[in-house]
């Protein structure tokens, strides 16, 4: 009597769209919290956004606490 | 072939990040805020000494708004880092043995080391009163450059590590030595923070220790939360159809 051993290798396919969306979330979130110097609000507020720095001021304490450069 | 369930996968990454980030913001309110308040108090004193008018009620309201912002920004930053852990987890989970919580914790520990701890040795966190507004763009450029060098070096070496089909401890030693060499090179080559520290050193050091502690707590909480939600939603399992 002979036995045949079968090994099933399961491969998981990673959806590219989900990875793309997560890369967007990563970059956008990091930009808002760590790097925005008025750029985001300048899209609606114009040049004034660069002196108001609303996003910068709102994320100010987290920016310091998480180690991002500030001021 | 099993296709990962995109929606569950996205939910695991973003929700675990949002939960951990909100906790991070709240922990910061308790541990980091006293240092921020003291540093901002020094800034206000300096402004008053320089002849600026500071309305105390407006200042208190403004600080209250910023403290709320810290929690919201924590949630956003958490979602961001949750997304990063999701990407790393989905490619790296089969390389680590054990439960999904253990896998997520190990991978979040690696990310913490590569994109937070090692860059923090070169560019440690600073409280307000330390940064010069005129050098902000330059400092942001230095900081992100160091993170990218550390991150992409680790990514490239991990790909090379798994492409080499030989089981030996030499392989791990070799990639560790190469990573250390590149990071030491970057430490030497990339300029230091140009701003001089004029704030009291007990304030600066206390702030840095608390910042490092809460960031570490964040990555531990993120790893655990991610693993728990992954186990609950099981994005890697084929969809089960129920017969009614």
Between CA B229 and CA B8 the distance in angstroms is: 9
User: How many residue pairs from chains A and B have C-beta atoms closer than 8 A?
Assistant: 149
Residue A52 lies in a domain: yes
Residue A56 lies in a domain: yes
Question: Strands B2-3 and A12-13, how do they pair?
Answer: parallel
B83 CB neighbours in chain A (<8 A) are 22-23, 25-26, 29
Per-residue pLDDT of chain B (244 residues; tens, 9 = 90+): 667 788 999 999 999 999 999 999 999 999 999 999 999 999 999 999 989 888 999 999 999 999 999 999 999 999 999 999 999 999 999 889 999 999 999 999 999 999 999 999 999 999 998 878 889 999 999 999 999 999 999 999 999 988 887 777 788 899 999 999 999 999 999 999 999 898 999 999 999 999 999 999 999 999 999 999 999 998 887 655 444 4
Q: Which two tokens stand for residue B74?
A: 């924590």
Q: Give residue A10's pLDDT.
A: 58
Q: Which residue of A has its CA nearest to B3?
A: A13
Nearest-CA distance from B79 to chain A in Å?
Answer: 7
Contact A22 B86 (CB under 8 A): yes
Contact of B90 with chain A, judged by CB distance below 8 Å, is answered with yes
Question: In the predicted model, what is the mean pLDDT of residues A5-10?
Answer: 57
Between CA A10 and CA B93 the distance in angstroms is: 14
Residue A3 lies in a domain: no
Give the residue from A29, A31, A34 with the most B CB atoms within 10 Å of its CB, the best one to mutate.
A29
Residue A59 lies in a domain: yes
Contact of A20 with chain B, judged by CB distance below 8 Å, is answered with no
**CB B89 within 8 Å of CB B104:** yes
Residue A48 lies in a domain: yes
Residue B6: HSE in the Cβ half-sphere, 13 Å Cα cutoff: 8
Residue A23 lies in a domain: yes
- Split into its structural domains, chain A has a count of 1
Between CA B4 and CA B33 the distance in angstroms is: 41
Report CA-CA distances (Å) from B102 to B93, B94, B98, B222. Answer: 10, 12, 6, 12
Between CA B223 and CA B231 the distance in angstroms is: 12
Q: Nearest CB to B87: which of A22, A37, A62?
A: A22
Residue A41 lies in a domain: yes
Q: Give residue A71's pLDDT.
A: 77
Which structural domain, as residue segments, surrounds residue A50?
Answer: 16-65
Nearest to A37 by CA among A20, A59, A15, A18: A59
Residue A1 lies in a domain: no
Report CA-CA distances (Å) from B162 to A52, B158, B171. Answer: 49, 6, 10
Bridge partners (DSSP) of residue B2 are A12
> Has residue A37 got a pLDDT over 80?
yes
Between CA B17 and CA B22 the distance in angstroms is: 8
Residue B56: HSE in the Cβ half-sphere, 13 Å Cα cutoff: 1
Q: Which two tokens stand for residue B21?
A: 């980030």
Q: Give residue B188's pLDDT.
A: 96
ipTM of the complex as predicted: 0.90
Q: Give residue B242's pLDDT.
A: 46
**CB B3 within 8 Å of CB A15:** yes
> Has residue A2 got a pLDDT over 70?
no
Give the B window 113-152 contacts with A, CB below 8 Å. 116, 119-120, 123-128, 130-133, 136-137, 139-140, 142-144
Q: Nearest CB to A65: which of B6, B10, B32?
A: B32
Nearest-CA distance from B162 to chain A in Å?
Answer: 16
Between CA A57 and CA B241 the distance in angstroms is: 49
């Amino acid at each position: 009597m002979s036995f045949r051993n079968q090994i099933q290798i399961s491969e998981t396919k990673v959806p590219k769209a989900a990875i793309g969306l997560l890369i967007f979330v990563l970059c956008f979130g990091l930009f808002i919290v760590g790097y925005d110097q008025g750029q985001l609000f300048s899209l609606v507020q114009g040049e004034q956004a660069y002196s108001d720095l609303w996003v910068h001021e709102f994320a100010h304490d987290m920016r310091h606490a998480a180690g991002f450069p500030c001021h | 072939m099993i296709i990962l369930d995109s929606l569950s996968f996205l939910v695991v990454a973003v929700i675990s990040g949002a939960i951990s980030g909100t906790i991070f913001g709240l922990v910061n309110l308790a541990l980091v805020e006293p240092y921020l308040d003291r540093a901002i108090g020094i800034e206000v004193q300096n402004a008053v000494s320089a002849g600026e008018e500071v309305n105390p009620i407006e200042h208190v309201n403004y600080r209250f708004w910023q403290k709320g912002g810290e929690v919201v920004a924590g949630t956003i930053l958490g979602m961001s880092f949750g997304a990063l852990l999701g990407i790393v987890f989905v490619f790296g989970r089969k390389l680590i043995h054990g439960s999904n919580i253990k896998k997520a914790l190990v991978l979040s520990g690696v990310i913490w080391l590569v994109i937070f701890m090692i860059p923090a040795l070169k560019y440690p966190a600073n409280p307000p009163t330390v940064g010069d507004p005129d050098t902000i763009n330059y400092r942001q450029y230095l900081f992100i450059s160091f993170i990218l060098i550390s991150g992409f070096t680790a990514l490239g070496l991990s790909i090379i590590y798994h492409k080499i089909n030989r089981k030996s401890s030499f392989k791990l030693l070799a990639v560790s030595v190469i990573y250390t060499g590149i990071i030491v090179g970057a430490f030497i080559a990339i300029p230091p923070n140009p701003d001089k520290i004029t704030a009291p050193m007990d304030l600066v050091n206390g702030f840095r220790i608390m910042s490092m502690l809460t960031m570490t707590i964040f990555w531990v909480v993120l790893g655990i939360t991610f693993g728990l939600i992954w186990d609950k939603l099981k994005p890697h399992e084929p969809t089960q159809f129920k017969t009614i």
